Amino acid sequence: MSELQKHIGADTDVPAGDIGVSGREIGYMFGTYRALKGQWEGVLTGKGGSWGGSNIRPEATGYGLVYYVEHMIRYATGGKESFAGKRVAISGSGNVAQYAALKCLELGATVVSLSDSKGALIADDDKGFQAEDIEAIAALKVQRKALTEFENHSFRYIEGARPWKEVGKVDVALPSATQNEVSGDEAQALVDAGCKFIAEGSNMGCTLEAIEVFEEHRKAKKSEGIWYGPGKAANAGGVAVSGLEMAQNSQRLTWSSEEVDERLKGIMKDAFENCLSTAKEYVTPAEGEFPSLVAGANIAGFTKVAAAMRDQGDWWTN
Ligand SMILES: NC(=O)C1=CN([C@@H]2O[C@H](COP(=O)(O)OP(=O)(O)OC[C@H]3O[C@@H](n4cnc5c(N)ncnc54)[C@H](OP(=O)(O)O)[C@@H]3O)[C@@H](O)[C@H]2O)C=CC1
Ligand SMILES: O=C(O)CCC(=O)C(=O)O
């Protein structure tokens, strides 16, 4: 922070936590920044609730992911289905995975897997992981312990494995651990197991080969195909609530959990609708085919930046 503080600031660049970082690390960095500068400003996000953090920021990425996928499910089924009754495979057991799992449970889904860097835990019954299991795992992870230390023998532990080839029939897959955590083979296993929705909680969770498997299946099988939601849209809830934390810091206000959650829901709805409408505009889907959300997300992101650059004189056309 003694070096970084020269390059960041509430109106310059605002860093945030990501994989391996919790409120504890943000606290140490924020405290050092404040001591060096002798002033309080919202220079980092993911702060603690009593010193400028936003309600719902810890939950935001996992919750936002589930909100995004809920829109995918409702669109794909004409509003007939939701998370209720779905079997959901999740990888990871950190911040994103924990809150995605808890929101899935709240919406009536069954969570059939979690994992960490050492292995995967699979629920073979119809009950899956319960909220108390997830809370116990969260407590282990604060102490940097492995899932092998989780003493609930109703789950199958597979050392060195990722969940995708182990979970059997699932409806939804939410990679939420780290990058490149779904290979082409694992993507095919999910498709073969009947998975209909996959969306990344992790950044770049799916390999290029995996994305090709999903996109080919979507095109070939139309409404019976799997539908892929890329992380750059589906996991945007975290950075979005960091933006809301900055807004609250600037106003010296704290919004309630309900207010932040409502805003998060609105942001994820807009993100889904933007991906959808941009995909329809630029990559017209064939009759009965779901629009490509990866094309929609990429093009929407690119055109927004390109238009802003043109408006600000970075480039122009005659
Ligand atoms: N936190 C956020 O707000 C956001 C996070 N993301 C992305 O989501 C993903 C998860 O982040 P987050 O939950 O915050 O991170 P955490 O550090 O809280 O959790 C990471 C999880 O991934 C596991 N993991 C780490 N490395 C590997 C590996 N090489 N192979 C398999 N599993 C691994 C960890 O296992 P172990 O416990 O054994 O280390 C842990 O279960 C990352 O890709 C991150 O960039 C995206 C948007 C926002
Ligand atoms: O809170 C943020 O701004 C960053 C969230 C994050 O880790 C990400 O979007 O990859």
Domain around 156: 60-234
| Closest ligand by atom to 204 CA | 1
Helices (H) and strands (E) in the chain, counts: 10, 7
pLDDT score, position 316: 85
High-pLDDT (> 70) share of the chain, %: 100
Determine, yes or no, domain membership for 1: no
Site to probe by mutation for ligand 1, drawn from 178, 241, 244 as the one with most ligand atoms within 8 Å of Cβ, is 178
Determine, yes or no, domain membership for 52: no
Count Cβ atoms below 10 Å from residue 258 Cβ, excluding itself. 10
At 16 the three-state DSSP class reads: strand
Determine, yes or no, domain membership for 262: no
Question: What spatial distance separates the first Cα and last Cα of the chain, rounded to whole Å?
Answer: 46
pLDDT score, position 251: 97
Give the integer Cα–Cα distance in Å for 59 and 103: 9
Determine, yes or no, domain membership for 260: no
Determine, yes or no, domain membership for 119: yes
Query: Cβ < 6 Å from ligand 1: which residues?
Result: 18-20, 61, 92-97, 116-118, 141, 146, 176-179, 201-203, 235, 238
pLDDT, one tens digit per residue, over 63-96 is: 999 999 999 999 999 999 999 999 999 999 999 9
pLDDT, one tens digit per residue, over 128-180 is: 999 999 999 999 999 999 999 998 888 999 999 999 999 999 999 999 999 99
* pLDDT confidence bin for 256, thresholds 50/70/90: very high
pLDDT score, position 272: 98
CATH at residue 75? 3.40.50.720
Determine, yes or no, domain membership for 302: no
- Which residues in 78-116 are b (16+ Cβ under 10 Å) and which e? eeeeebeebbbbbbbbbbbbbbbbbbbbebebbbbbbbb
Number of domains in the chain: 1
The residue contributing the CA closest to ligand 1 atom 37 is 116
Question: For 293-303, what is the mean pLDDT?
Answer: 98
User: What average pLDDT does the chain have?
Assistant: 97
Asked if pLDDT for residue 124 goes beyond 90, the answer is yes
At 228 the three-state DSSP class reads: strand
Determine, yes or no, domain membership for 126: yes
Asked if pLDDT for residue 318 goes beyond 80, the answer is no
Within 13 A of 209's CA, how many CA atoms are on the CB side? 10
Instruction: At 189, list the tokens.
Output: 């296993």
| E-assigned strand segments in the chain | 87-90, 110-115, 119-122, 156-159, 172-174, 197-199, 227-229
Instruction: At 310, list the tokens.
Output: 């043109």
pLDDT score, position 153: 81
Site to probe by mutation for ligand 2, drawn from 8, 18, 203 as the one with most ligand atoms within 8 Å of Cβ, is 18
pLDDT score, position 317: 81
**3-class SS shares of the chain: helix, strand, coil, % to 5:** 50, 10, 40
Give the integer Cα–Cα distance in Å for 271 and 236: 8
**What is the pTM for the complete model shown?**
0.98
66 in Cβ contact with 98 (< 8 Å): no
pLDDT, one tens digit per residue, over 174-233 is: 999 999 999 999 999 999 999 999 999 999 999 999 999 999 999 999 999 999 999 999
pLDDT score, position 212: 98
Evaluated on CA atoms 247, 32, 49, 241, the torsion sign reads positive
Residue 294 is inside which H or E element, if any? helix 293-311
Determine, yes or no, domain membership for 298: no
